């Protein structure tokens, strides 16, 4: 554990995250960093256009995420999109299950979800 913290909006306190939360946080950061977004290395990041362009083709989204996370996480096995919501032809909410070697499946809200108080 690296002693990462998460802000709890309901009580205004910073809490240390556990191993599962830390992994979920890492995956959200990996998928939330758009390709070319990091100024000192424009080759890093996930091409989020794959989700934008293919929002209704879940298998295409799963393939894009799989290809990216296989390069980033040496324990990555598979991803499954468990829910996806569109508004005006744009993905507004997306949850995934991530399967990693020797670990429980991680359920992660990767797009949206803030309205329900889930800060993971």
Residue for token digits 């299950």?
A: 97
**Angle at CA 114, nearest 5°, toward 18 and 16?**
20
In whole numbers, what is the pLDDT of the chain averaged over residues? 81
Percentage with pLDDT > 90 across the chain: 32
Q: Are 27 and 69 in contact (CB under 8 A)?
A: yes
What pLDDT score was predicted for residue 117?
40
120 near 6, Cβ under 8 Å?
yes
Predicted confidence (pLDDT) per residue in 15-67, tens digit: 666 667 778 888 888 998 999 999 999 999 999 888 888 778 899 999 999 99
Helix (H) or strand (E) segment spanning residue 86: strand 76-87
Rounded to 10°, the helix 58-72/19-32 angle is 110
Q: What pLDDT does 44 receive?
A: 92
The fold for domain 5-114 equals: Nuclear Transport Factor 2; Chain: A, (3.10.450)
Domain-wise residue ranges, the chain? 5-114
- What lies within 8 Å, CB to CB, of 53 at 6+ separation is none
Q: Where does the pLDDT of residue 5 fall: very low under 50, low under 70, confident under 90, or very high at 90 and above? A: low
User: What span, in angstroms and rounded, lies between the C-alpha atoms of 68 and 71?
Assistant: 5
């Amino acid at each position: 554990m690296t002693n990462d913290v998460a802000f709890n909006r309901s009580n205004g306190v910073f809490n240390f995250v556990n191993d599962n939360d830390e992994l979920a946080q890492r995956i959200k950061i990996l998928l939330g960093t758009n390709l070319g977004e990091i100024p000192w290395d424009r080759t890093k990041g996930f091409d989020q256009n794959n989700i934008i362009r293919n929002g209704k083709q879940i298998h295409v989204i799963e393939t894009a995420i799989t290809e990216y996370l296989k390069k980033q996480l040496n324990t990555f096995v598979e991803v499954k999109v468990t829910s996806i919501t569109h508004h005006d032809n744009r993905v507004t909410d997306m949850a995934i299950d991530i399967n990693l070697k020797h670990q429980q499946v991680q359920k992660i809200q990767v797009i949206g979800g803030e309205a329900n108080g889930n800060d993971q």
